[in-house]
Structure 1
Amino acid sequence: MYSVLFRQAEESSQLAGAKGMNLIKLTKHGLPVPDGFIIQTNALARFMEDNQLHDSSENIENAIIAGTFSDEIKNELTSSFYELRESYHSVAVRSSSASEDLEGASFAGQYETYLNIKTEEEFLNKVKECWASFFSGRVSRYKKKMNNQIAEPLMGVVVQGLINSDISGVIFSQNPVTHDDRELLISASYGLGEAVVSGSVTPDTYIVHKGSFEIQKEMGLKEIYMESAAEGIAEKETSEDMRSRFCLTDEQVIELTELTKKTEALYGFPVDLEFGIANHKLYLLQARPITTIEQDKKAAEEERNFMITDKDMDDFWLNMESNIEGPVSPLFSSFIVPALEYGLKKSMRQFPIGVIVDEVKVYRGHIYSKNQGGQQLPPEDSAEELFPILSERMYDIIHNTYLPFYRTLDQLAQTEHTPESALDAFKKLKAFYLTAYEEHFNIVFPQILLTNKLQAMYQNIQGETENSHFYEMLTGVMNKSLETDRRLWQFSVEVRENPNLTALFEHAQPEHLLERLEQTDEGRQFLQKVNEFLQEYGWRSVKSHDLIEQTWAENPFYALTHIQNYVRNGYHFDNEFKKTIKKREKLYNEFFQSIEDPALQKEFERYYQWTLNSSNIKDDHHFYIDAMLDAKARVFLLKVGELLAESGVIQDREDLWFLYDDEVENALLHPVSLKEKAEKRRQMFHEYELAQAPAYLGTPTEAQLKAAEEIVGAVIEDEKNTENDIFGVAASSGIATGPVKVIRDASEFSQFTPGDILVCKMTTPLWTSLFQDAKAIITDTGGILSHAAIIAREYGIPAVLGTRAATERLRDGDIVTVDGNSGKITVVSRS
């Protein structure tokens, strides 16, 4: 097949070329793209073969234009052309190279575009001219300049219905002058877009704030406009009236802004668009990445020794996203990256868990680890003497190491600091992160060794590698996350016993709950109890593993929304927890009875009881270390931010997160303005949040990928995936069918309704309230031991994790069946 319709092509089709893939993606996601088809790259390869041409042939451009089509290719292409012409007066023919529009090499203006094509002869000639442009001298020079190594003749052609635009132009979703991602820039003029793209006119310019929709305008001369003629394109002068007014109304500017925001959200990175407006209808003609942003970014960001360099790219780096969500702020990266590397190296020597981490570094705000290719297998008796006391040992470490330092942080957060005292406390906090993560892995790794040993025994007895039932045999043990949920549920019971509070919680919008409670005596009394609860259980951040977002202890809103959810859904924590325990006991007894050898039974029971007793470690260490350290540190560091804001270093105390540790230390004693630097990094951070970070960097071997998957789950999309089948990790057993709801962050929680199937990138403890209502869980990242897997098993709902593709492939309202036994998701119907 040499041609394929936009709406029928696969989004990831490499045969479409970059421009073609963009148009396919836009069409598939329902954006207003004119119909068209792709002449795939294999058509050029076949054409060259038929005409005995090679990319090294002399005068290859002329040879392609003089070449002839085989009947097979000609018939297929002209059939697609005539089918498109039934709906459009004429078509546009554009090159679509596999190298074009790629990050770092836009090839803008290097290939060909032909407009107003009406006849078969014109169409076939323009296709050959697009193909010939792949070999032109200017493209070769540009490829060399951009270090683009693609040498194969991978040129597709886009054939699209031509929109005879009254107004057209281009949009940059991030202001290309200031690089402010809160603003977009529109350049627009009359007629077809070629006048704006080619620079033939001085267009009107609109800068729009994407949040407030505030518009700044600058009128251009709009000297000419282009329109379709009997043949080709005609260039005409604009009238005085056309030149004296803006070509777009404010309503049209806002409509274009909404379209741009949708497109940017779809791609996950800044884009530039081409658009046309005909008969008051808006069309999206093209979208591509803004390729200069990476260069600007590199110029704006100073290198730190814990950042991945171009030289590092030769190694295999694994994204630690299943443990550390999304990008991290500059200040937090200064603390966490050295701490992770230090702690991992020390504990991996003492407790070898089967993988070796050489380094931990940051790439585009995301944390990656460099893993050695080979595996270090643990000794048979590694940490054996610790297995019976793992949980008690953890609590000894917490009480002796962490809690005393947290009390110090609490005092520091209440202190009015001098620059000298703030600097001293800041350095002590940095040093404690090293200690904290040394002990973190000292606690976690022995428990991993024990669980792995029991799992190996289970698989040897069971004779298969299915693991979801194994981990369900370890559920129903109270831990700090479940304890927190239970306390919140008990608050909901108290609410339901009070008619006034019940009415308030059932009917008030979440954002108004706090205000409404503060208006009555019983509401204030209830809030007092919640605040007391938060002083013990509220040391967790809205964004796990960072300093950048509020903690629950700072704002009761987050706890109140969880209580409200319990009130509304009638969930009974104790009853459901008892069901989980019964299921665990049933699974264990059935498995235990299947062991025929009494000695093996005894050995398995011993290791099982040790593992069950220590199963609280996964959540309790997160509660006291991962979450609490960052939350307590944040509250203290806000005092440091206040000092720097008072001395003019930063604008606001929370700009502190966008400075590195050395900058904070220097600025405390030698204040200089870092406002511009902090603001640029804030913009970059938000850009990193939108972008899809690679699951890994470098070119790993199969052995490295396999080892990585054992740690973090799938790192590449399953090759068995089809249009309606998605495969992942079977993490919690059961089968459920229901409507998809894609949730990207906490701001969208209110959109989730009982009976929905939760689809997200990953979950953190903040997401637990959604599990009470969800029929099933699907994630992009994470494995059998991730937060989503653990909580899904505790709540007894099916889960398929680590799909790498669910948030892209599934849309709100799609009906899917989630099989947590096999790890398969089946699309029943599309919304």
Structure 2
Amino acid sequence: MYSVLFNKAEESSQLAGAKGMNLIKMTKNGLPVPDGFIIQTNALARFMEDNQLHETKEDIENNIINGIFSDELKNELTASFYELRESYASVAVRSSSASEDLEGASFAGQYETYLNVKTEDEFLGKVKECWASFFSARVGRYKEKMKNNHGKPLMGVVVQGLIESEVSGVIFSRNPVTHDDGELLISASYGLGEAIVSGSVTPDTFIVNKDSFAIQKEMGLKELYMVSQAEGIAERETNEEMRNRYCLNDEHIRELAALTKKTEALYGFPVDLEFGIAENTLYLLQARPITTIDQDKEAAEEERDFMITKEDMNDFWLNMESNIEGPISPLFSSLIVPAMEHGLKKRSEQFPIGVTIEEVKQYRGHIYSKQKGGDPTEAAKAAEAAEELFPHLAERMYDILNKTFLPFYETLDELSAASHTPESALNAFKKLKAFYMEAYDEHFNIVFPQLLLNTKLETMYQQVQGDTENSHFHEMLTGKMNKSLETDRHLWLLSNEVKKNAALKQVFETHQAEELQETLAQTSDGKLFLDKVNEFLREYGWRSVKSHDLIEQIWAENPYYALSHIQNYVRNGYHFDNEFNKTIEKRKQLYNEFLQQIEDEAFRKEYDRYYQWMLNSSVIRDDHHFYIDAMLDAKARIFLLRIGEMLTDSGVIDDKEDLWYLYDDEIENALLHPVPLQAKAAKRREVFKEYELVHAPSYLGSPTAEQLKAAEDIVGSVTEDEKNTEDHIYGVAASSGIVSGPVKVIRDANEFSRFSPGDVLVCKMTTPLWTSLFQDAKAVITDTGGILSHAAIIAREYGLPAVLGTRAATDRLRDGDVVTVDGTSGKITIVSRA
């Protein structure tokens, strides 16, 4: 017998091949598997015997494809094919090697799959191609690499009824990113599953808790889908409506989760599955063991003491994404996590802001803090003690910057330019690590007293206005020049120079941003202008494309970023000074109107005293970010690239920018004792990309209502508002005003070109790089961030209504939806759907 039905075969049949054995097992245990049959491995042996072929024969693959079926073999196989075709319009033909899917040696993607097979000739031809794939060069290399000794031609073939899937995907019964057995991960998109398996699409991702069935979602682009046609399969582009919604509903997600748990229990070890959904029915198409168990164990052994463990999960950990957008690279984690813990623990005790930070750790590349409530009595005493600092907070910050930070940046510049021995590079690297500890001690030494002053003034404000409206309070603190605004103003002044020069203006109006530098370099006027841009970058270029990390270019490395901002000013006609003066006038008007509401003259004078201190210190938020958050990482990047070059030269890594995927101790060891770390860096880069695709939870553990309230007072909304409905989304009222306009969801800087004047900006959060969009935006909506976040501050400076910390906007809103944004009440109304 050369073929056998799934439901008639023995589960232990070695003649079925690994894939076939899995399908037999699933069918026999009642899982929803489409009907099919196995062409057993003895069929290939018979075929080779009939054609006098041996596996060592030269050009064996072509000989198999050109071989002839004996009547006996052909008749049996085609009889099974026609029987299956009575129930299905077409079939899928897949290889099923005895070597395939063995633990530790997954051959996924090494053999062949053929879909929408309808005719006898096509069926027999695809069977031969599956057999030939056993001998292909790429499989041979893979077997050699895996030291797999299954050299005999033991190739079975699975023939399965083709499900015309409306949605398909893959499921991992253990989260492959975090190696968490308590979670499963689903990747899904439209059409047949080959689009996902081949990597042709960016799928939707769903992480499901295997106990509670709670779901985390991340929307993919779902660029295309595959469908059957008269012959073979074809790619189709998804339309906007398909791209802008999840391809699976919660009911299907939970049903798939239940099937996955059942399958995992059947096998007794983690599995990955392929599934399809047709006419609202779920089918499991394949199952295989997760074959990276050993590698996962190795990854677990690399965990550092600043990573959250399973035991830690019992505590309340708050995602600090409103301050540091994750994920962050391994090297940056080594520097920033210990530094933030040191600074937060020390300064939250000295300047209590409502909570005390106990620990800072990393989870899935994101930074979390564990907090405890402060003693109100001690907090009040500490706040009173801090009052003596209030009159000169800004001057105090500049004094710290001049004494501590700027001298070290000069040292870093010297270290970046110097020639290093391994010993001197190690010494310099340790200096940088030590300075990060000092820097974030001073960071919170600067920030926390201002937060206390802000809290004091806001409490007084609410005594007059009540606690329902806070946006005007913060708008009364706008219109003070800071480093972000100063940077924007210099870019605007450079754009004015462009407008005055007809040749330069034509370049900026007719070329793409990516072409500007090369085009300008071709003329004398263009070269002079580039000199001015580079002069600007020497002072203002110390900011990264990605704030708070080392992995992306900084402005000083590439004039493109400044040139693109200048181009935006040239095209949109924005007049910085006029708009800034309007902000100042609005601030003065709001403040005068507020003072008139205060009848008690003594209270009015006291409020004005605190207000003037707060207005003077309002530069702290942006200036500390410019000089500490951005500049330290930027200067560190330039120096660390030198170490990356040294490690590349000594064979530790393949490229200097692989350095970001090593931890600090590995770098220290490798400088003096070079060992190959290419594989580790490559694996971590891959994991980092996976972290980028999946939402990290806003918090971990089971906090009390009081803990959540204390957290929200600091970082903004932690959970989605319970008042949300199908037509309304609520968040933090961050900048007043009411406008309506079309939504544009922008997920990262690569999508800036999609944004148009008059759009409502919807995003997860913003950093200083996003400021150019505020010039064109009608309003701003974010998932994360509170009243003191970057998005809130810049929206108020630009006079834009803003609702922040919605926790739902990028999931609920799609490009083209028309919304009304009420930045005074924190309410978003969905007027119409695209």
What CA deviation, in whole Å up to 9, does each residue of 1:427-455 have, x standing for no partner?
Answer: 00000011101111111111111111000
Say if 1:114 and 1:655 are closer, same or farther in 2 by CA, change over 3 A: closer
Q: Is the 8 A contact 1:741 1:811 kept in 2?
A: yes
Which residue pairs with 2:201 in the alignment? Answer: 260
Q: Distance in 2 between matches of 1:186 and 1:786?
A: 51
One-letter code of the match for 1:112?
L
What CA deviation, in whole Å up to 9, does each residue of 1:306-346 have, x standing for no partner?
Answer: 00001101100000000001211001100100100101111
Q: Distance in 1 between matches of 2:427 and 2:162?
A: 69
TM-score, structure 2 as length reference: 0.71
Which residue pairs with 2:412 in the alignment? Answer: 409
Q: How many Å apart are 1:723 and its aligned residue? A: 1.5
Q: Is the 8 A contact 1:169 1:276 kept in 2?
A: no
1:277 correspondence with 2:228: yes
Instruction: Give secondary structure in 2 for the equivalent of 1:605.
Output: helix
Q: Distance in 1 between matches of 2:525 and 2:723?
A: 57
Give 5+ residue unaligned stretches, structure 1. 1-106, 117-161, 194-200, 208-215, 229-250
1:761 equivalent among 753, 759, 764: 764
Instruction: Give secondary structure in 1 for the equivalent of 2:308.
Output: coil
What CA deviation, in whole Å up to 9, does each residue of 1:640-686 have, x standing for no partner?
Answer: 11100000001011111000000000000000000100110011111
Which residue pairs with 2:32 in the alignment? Answer: 113
Q: Distance in 2 between matches of 1:755 and 1:503?
A: 24
Instruction: Give secondary structure in 2 for the equivalent of 1:666.
Output: helix
Say if 1:115 and 1:642 are closer, same or farther in 2 by CA, change over 3 A: closer
1:447 correspondence with 2:450: yes
Q: How many Å apart are 1:588 and its aligned residue? A: 0.3
Say if 1:108 and 1:540 are closer, same or farther in 2 by CA, change over 3 A: farther
Q: Distance in 2 between matches of 1:742 and 1:178?
A: 42
Which residue pairs with 2:752 in the alignment? Answer: 749
Give the RMSD, CA atoms, in angstroms: 3.5
Q: Distance in 1 between matches of 2:504 and 2:344?
A: 48
Q: Is the 8 A contact 2:194 2:226 kept in 1?
A: no
Q: How many Å apart are 1:300 and its aligned residue? A: 2.2
Which residue pairs with 1:813 in the alignment? Answer: 816
1:613 correspondence with 2:625: no
One-letter code of the match for 2:380?
P
1:589 correspondence with 2:588: no
Which residue pairs with 1:55 in the alignment? Answer: none
Moved more, 632-641 or 287-296: 287-296
1:365 correspondence with 2:284: no
Which residue pairs with 2:783 in the alignment? Answer: 780
Q: Distance in 1 between matches of 2:786 and 2:128?
A: 54
Instruction: Give secondary structure in 2 for the equivalent of 1:672.
Output: coil
Q: Is the 8 A contact 1:269 1:687 kept in 2?
A: no
Which residue pairs with 2:299 in the alignment? Answer: 300
Q: Is the 8 A contact 1:165 1:277 kept in 2?
A: no
1:697 equivalent among 697, 700, 721: 700
Q: How many Å apart are 1:223 and its aligned residue? A: 5.2
Q: Distance in 2 between matches of 1:455 and 1:254?
A: 54
1:715 correspondence with 2:728: no
Q: How many Å apart are 1:351 and its aligned residue? A: 1.0
Q: Is the 8 A contact 1:202 1:220 kept in 2?
A: no
Q: Is the 8 A contact 2:329 2:661 kept in 1?
A: yes
Q: Distance in 2 between matches of 1:750 and 1:439?
A: 37
Q: How many Å apart are 1:828 and its aligned residue? A: 1.0
Instruction: Give secondary structure in 2 for the equivalent of 1:370.
Output: strand
1:226 correspondence with 2:161: yes
Say if 1:815 and 1:324 are closer, same or farther in 2 by CA, change over 3 A: same
1:494-573 to structure 2, matched below 5 A, reads 494-573=497-576
Q: How many Å apart are 1:267 and its aligned residue? A: 3.6
What CA deviation, in whole Å up to 9, does each residue of 1:236-263 have, x standing for no partner?
Answer: xxxxxxxxxxxxxxx9967985763244
Q: Distance in 2 between matches of 1:469 and 1:656?
A: 46
Instruction: Give secondary structure in 2 for the equivalent of 1:448.
Output: helix
1:342 correspondence with 2:342: yes
Give 5+ residue unaligned stretches, structure 2. 1-24, 36-86, 119-126, 134-141, 143-152, 164-191, 207-216, 237-246, 258-271, 274-289
Q: How many Å apart are 1:185 and its aligned residue? A: 8.4
2:802 equivalent among 799, 813, 817: 799
Q: Distance in 1 between matches of 2:498 and 2:805?
A: 38
Q: Distance in 2 between matches of 1:551 and 1:540?
A: 5
Q: Distance in 2 between matches of 1:689 and 1:340?
A: 22
1:353 correspondence with 2:353: yes
Q: Distance in 2 between matches of 1:562 and 1:777?
A: 19
Q: Is the 8 A contact 1:491 1:563 kept in 2?
A: yes
Instruction: Give secondary structure in 2 for the equivalent of 1:358.
Output: strand
Q: Is the 8 A contact 2:652 2:676 kept in 1?
A: yes
Q: Is the 8 A contact 1:762 1:781 kept in 2?
A: yes
Q: Is the 8 A contact 1:203 1:220 kept in 2?
A: no
What CA deviation, in whole Å up to 9, does each residue of 1:619-657 have, x standing for no partner?
Answer: 000000000000000000100111000000010111110
Which residue pairs with 1:640 in the alignment? Answer: 643
Which residue pairs with 2:113 in the alignment? Answer: 188
Q: How many Å apart are 1:527 and its aligned residue? A: 0.5
Instruction: Give the total of aligned pairs.
Output: 636
One-letter code of the match for 2:366?
H
1:596-745 to structure 2, matched below 5 A, reads 596-745=599-748
What CA deviation, in whole Å up to 9, does each residue of 1:99-138 have, x standing for no partner?
Answer: xxxxxxxx9887632769xxxxxxxxxxxxxxxxxxxxxx
Say if 1:165 and 1:372 are closer, same or farther in 2 by CA, change over 3 A: farther
Q: How many Å apart are 1:711 and its aligned residue? A: 1.1
Q: Distance in 2 between matches of 1:569 and 1:365?
A: 38
Which residue pairs with 1:233 in the alignment? Answer: none
Q: Distance in 2 between matches of 1:620 and 1:537?
A: 12
Q: Distance in 1 between matches of 2:129 and 2:609?
A: 77
Say if 1:689 and 1:586 are closer, same or farther in 2 by CA, change over 3 A: same
Instruction: Give secondary structure in 2 for the equivalent of 1:369.
Output: strand
One-letter code of the match for 1:415?
A
Say if 1:203 and 1:621 are closer, same or farther in 2 by CA, change over 3 A: farther
Say if 1:253 and 1:311 are closer, same or farther in 2 by CA, change over 3 A: closer
Say if 1:221 and 1:415 are closer, same or farther in 2 by CA, change over 3 A: same
Instruction: Give secondary structure in 2 for the equivalent of 1:383.
Output: helix
Instruction: Give secondary structure in 1 for the equivalent of 2:725.
Output: coil
Q: How many Å apart are 1:299 and its aligned residue? A: 3.8
One-letter code of the match for 1:582?
E
Say if 1:254 and 1:463 are closer, same or farther in 2 by CA, change over 3 A: closer
One-letter code of the match for 1:354?
G
Q: How many Å apart are 1:722 and its aligned residue? A: 1.4
Q: Distance in 2 between matches of 1:350 and 1:758?
A: 38
Q: Is the 8 A contact 1:361 1:368 kept in 2?
A: yes
Q: Distance in 2 between matches of 1:206 and 1:406?
A: 62
Q: How many Å apart are 1:798 and its aligned residue? A: 0.5
Which residue pairs with 1:325 in the alignment? Answer: 325
Say if 1:355 and 1:203 are closer, same or farther in 2 by CA, change over 3 A: farther
Say if 1:111 and 1:281 are closer, same or farther in 2 by CA, change over 3 A: farther
Instruction: Give secondary structure in 2 for the equivalent of 1:356.
Output: strand
Which residue pairs with 1:87 in the alignment? Answer: none
TM-score, structure 1 as length reference: 0.71
Q: How many Å apart are 1:277 and its aligned residue? A: 2.7
Q: Distance in 2 between matches of 1:115 and 1:336?
A: 51
Q: Distance in 2 between matches of 1:511 and 1:750?
A: 11
Q: Distance in 2 between matches of 1:722 and 1:559?
A: 41
Which residue pairs with 1:316 in the alignment? Answer: 316
Q: Distance in 2 between matches of 1:111 and 1:192?
A: 26
Q: Distance in 2 between matches of 1:373 and 1:177?
A: 52
Q: Taking every aligned residue pair, what percent have the same amino acid on both sides?
A: 63
